[in-house]
Structure 1
Amino acid sequence: MSTKLDQLSSWLKERKITEVECLISDLTGIARGKISPTNKFLDEKGMRLPESVLLQTVTGDYVEDDIYYDLLDEADIDMFCRPDENAAFLVPWALEPTAMVIHDTFDKQGNPIELSPRNILKNILKLYADKGWKPIVAPEMEFYLTKRCSDPDFPLEAPMGRSGRPEVGRQSFSIDAANEFDPLFEDVYDWCEIQGLDLDTLIHEDGPAQMEINFRHGEALHLADQITVFKRTMREASLKHDVAATFMAKPITDQPGSAMHIHQSVVDIKTGKNLFSNADGSMSQLFMNHIGGLQKYIPELLPLFAPNVNSFRRFLPDTSAPVNVEWGEENRTVGLRVPEATPQNRRVENRLAGADANPYLVLAASLLCGYMGMVEDIKPSAPVKGRAYERRNLRLPITIEHALERMEACKAAEKYLGEKFMRGYVAVKRAEHENYKRVISSWEREFLLLSV
């Protein structure tokens, strides 16, 4: 541990860092932590936070008392947060030389905290490692740029680009439409290069000012860290250019939602060989089982892929998002697409996750579903050829309430994720949904106010 901290200390001193943002991810994916002068950060070798932050909702509320005190110490004790020297990133937008360092969380005895999203992902990766396997992932992040809006009752609007005009219509893959925001994305790419983020391509998606950033394939924990950093970076760059960036799953009425597509494969740790392909280049049985596991267990763990009431608006008919767990080759209408690739690059693309999902939990869930298929020898359905939106055999739960009920009852996944995590996560999402139900929407005022 001391050697690792020495490496981190040298890294901070070489870059003349004066301030460190010490952070962890809560269940929603919000960065929580403390900002510390570098000298204090190095002296204390970490930080302490109340473990209750891991049961905090997106609104800042907490779960009901009976669950809260059943899952946490009644004294509201601290957890111990240790910096990961492989998860240190510069903060290019800060006025003073600043770094953000992602931490892992432990109890007083040194045991990993069971409610920690980063620990959950680490646990799933260990399942693979114990089999001699290593997952490889490549996330694709969709998001919208919008006008800045201080009133949540007002619908979001497309921002002005360099031309001085807002975008209208559908501009999928348009270079000119993406170039409208060149100054912003020049900052994004510069800042991400400084941070060492493995960005690949920028794409203009279907919606007005809807974009997609692709990450290069790599190790899952490191990419979850990168997505966490990227979201903060994208928001900061947008504010600098007087627009907003949102990763809501469905931010604008009658426009496409934003997904986090996850390309995933599994290689042999010793040989590096892709386990999804046979020696003759054909699809392996393990690949079929991996898809079978995704098909069986994604509907059971959907709140990890679609964590908010807004997430389920992506799954409405005719929204261009997949609404089932069918699979097919080179088919973008299914939830599980198998892109055309060489045998060594064979993978499945999970198209169901929303951009609003916690990156640690959604990667953990997607990899766990595939893992369970591999160890349980689950056979997939027949691949789909042609349009899959109307298929009803493998549909998803259609509300967050139904999805939480199914997740709560999934004992097969609880074996790997842990009872404490399952109960805590479901409780947080139920608390958020109760809060949501108290708000009267503009739709209700528009259509019911003077009509019923």
Structure 2
Amino acid sequence: MELNDLKEWMRERRIGDVSCLTPDMSGNARGKNMLPGLFLSSLENKSLRIPEGTYTISVHGEMIYNDHVPGTERDLVLAPDLDTIHLAPWNTDATAAVICDAFTDQGAPFNMAPRQVLRNVVELYHQKGWTPIVGPEVEFYLIARFNDVVLEPRAPDGASGLREFGQHVYSLDAIDEFDKLFEELYQFCDIQHIDLETLIHEDGPCQFEVNIRHGEAMKVADQLFLFKRLARQVAKRHGMFVTFMAKPYADESGSSIHLHQSVVDRKTGKNIFADKDGEDSAIFRHFIGGLQAHLPAAMPLFAPYTNSFNRFEAYMSAPTNTHWGRENRTVGLRVPSSGPEARRVENRISGADINPYLAIAASLVCGYAGMVDKIEPRAEYVGQGYDDSDSPLPATLTESIETFSESDALKKYLGEGFVDTYAAIKHSEFEHRSSVLSPWDVRYLMVNV
């Protein structure tokens, strides 16, 4: 969008406020609100700025400094991507929102910013004449509002006045209990150009899944970033919360974001995962081989918190290894049945608590490394993947951080500065969590030891 088109767009919609958004390491929106005049002038003189420490904020709010991001906190220039401008329909006044990238004063991209991490990975594909395509399946729970963070979550009351319990997978009646909420969710997604497709009820109480239509990686990541923010706002408008926590209930299925991935030729638009006879191509096998080889090292980007690892439990709709198989939902890497044009692999490892930019970047870079290094995958796994203990995923966050920190492949493709900084943030979060009195401590230790 050109500047004159932007001015007209804002004038037609009588925009009274502008939110400049930038995703932090947790995938949450940081940034600034401002009046339209100031926003437009900042575009012309590049005066929209933010400290680089914004991109090293932990989930508990601490800025993490190291050799790559020193405590001097220099300013970065925020550059709005005008192709992402949209309305924030939950605001009372007409508010525009736009996703921003970060640059140094010398014009270099800030390679620690999550959106730039993904952009760098996409560029690796472009240099080979490829375009990565991603389609996410997003799971989440609706939960009752609360103000005591120690209490366990519970399902909200539906339209009938009854609280859901038990399993209602694929139940349409259970969806209808929250019909007004989902009607507004789809309406707001349409306003923000989020291309939602199907909606289903999942295994847990008030657990749902929506699919975002497949597309180019950056556009899909932007939609996923906006969707999580939008869903929280819609839920609050209906007197409840939505959680993307990977395992909010100890005895129920966790929530994931399954990533369907394929690669097309930039010139022809054809899916390179199928050969001319419609069979699996060598490059498709190598993509799977790369995922198997490098996913364990990239685990902090798919399972970023201690709670994330609670989700990986056999027979709970979550993978426990990196096996691959056709139409097999018990392995980490599933190949759905499809024609040659839709040949793809579904990464079932990432939780719903991911930063979409970083998880998509990680999955794509693992596959990329497999393609360029011609890594052959292990044989297809046939049967219940839960029954096999070979090639397990890392068991804990601390184990996964150490493996992540030592990965030469991830440092090569994602940048050593990013790997070091992200690992430092995860260490800080783990230490902070370990210092907090938990409900388990209160329940079993307070008066018993």
Q: Determine helix, strand or coil for the equivalent of 2:183.
A: helix
Contact 2:313 2:319 in 1 (8 A): no
- What SS is found at the alignment partner of 2:370? helix
Give the match for residue 43 of structure 1: 41
Instruction: Report if the CA contact (8 A) 1:323-1:335 is conserved.
Output: yes
Matched, 1:348 2:345: yes
Work out the CA distance in 2 between the residues paired with 1:425 and 1:4. Answer: 35
TM-score of the two chains, using structure 1 as the length reference = 0.97
- 2:303 corresponds to 1:306: yes
Contact 1:303 1:404 in 2 (8 A): yes
Cα distance in 2, alignment partners of residues 446 and 72 from structure 1: 41
Given that 1:57 and 1:431 are in contact with CA atoms closer than 8 Å, whether structure 2 keeps it comes out as: yes
Q: Spell out, residue by residue over 1:322-371, the C-alpha distance to the aligned partner (whole angstroms, 9 max, x if none).
A: 11111000000011000000011010000000111001001100110100
- Over the matched positions of the two proteins, sequence identity in percent amounts to 48
- For 1:15, the equivalent position in structure 2 comes to 13
Rate the CA distance shift 1:278–1:89 in 2: closer, same or farther, 3 A.
Answer: same
Query: Deviation at 1:451?
Result: 3.8
Query: Is the CA contact (8 Å cut-off) linking 1:137 and 1:217 kept in structure 2?
Result: yes
Note the C-alpha offset of 1:72. 2.2
Deviation at 1:372?
0.5
Mapped to 2, the partners of 1:53 and 1:195 lie a distance apart of 25
* Counterpart residue number, 2:30: 32
SS in 1 for 2:387: coil
Contact 1:62-1:431 at 8 Å conserved across structures: no
Runs of 4+ residues over 6 Å off in structure 1: none
RMSD of the alignment, in Å?
Answer: 1.2
Q: How does 1:230-269 map to 2 (within 5 A)?
A: 230-269=227-266
Distance 2:321 2:203 in 1: 21
Q: In 2, distance between residues paired with 1:101 and 1:369?
A: 30
- The answer (yes or no) to whether the contact 2:327–2:334 under 8 Å persists in 1 is yes
Counterpart in 2 of 1:55? Answer: 56
Match of 1:194 among 188, 191, 194: 191
Would the aligned equivalents of 1:27 and 1:54 in 2 still touch at CA under 8 Å?
Answer: yes
Structure 2: distance between partners of 1:74 and 1:250: 34
Task: Mark the runs of 5 or more structure 2 residues left unpaired by the alignment.
Answer: none
Q: After superposition, where does 1:338-417 map in structure 2 within 5 Å?
A: 338-417=335-414
Q: Is 2:143 the counterpart of 1:146?
A: yes
Counterpart CA distance in 2 for 1:43 and 1:179 is 47
**2-side partners of 1:105 and 1:131: how far apart?**
26
Give 1:174 deviation, angstroms: 0.4
- Measured against aligned partners, the alpha-carbon deviations of 1:209-262 in whole angstroms (never above 9, x if no partner) come to 000010111111011111111111111111111011010001112011000000
Partner of 1:187, secondary structure, is helix
Secondary structure of the 1:166 match is coil
Matched residues in 2 for 1:347 and 1:8: separation? 37
Paired residue secondary structure (1:396)? coil
Please state whether the residue corresponding to 1:70 is helix, strand or coil: coil
Aligned length in residues: 446
With normalisation by structure 2, the TM-score equals 0.97
Q: Secondary structure at the match of 1:120?
A: helix
How far apart are 1:4 and its partner, in Å?
A: 3.2
The aligned runs of 1:39-438 (5 Å cut-off) are 39-45=37-43, 47-63=48-64, 68-438=65-435
Higher mean Cα deviation, 3-12 or 230-239? Answer: 3-12
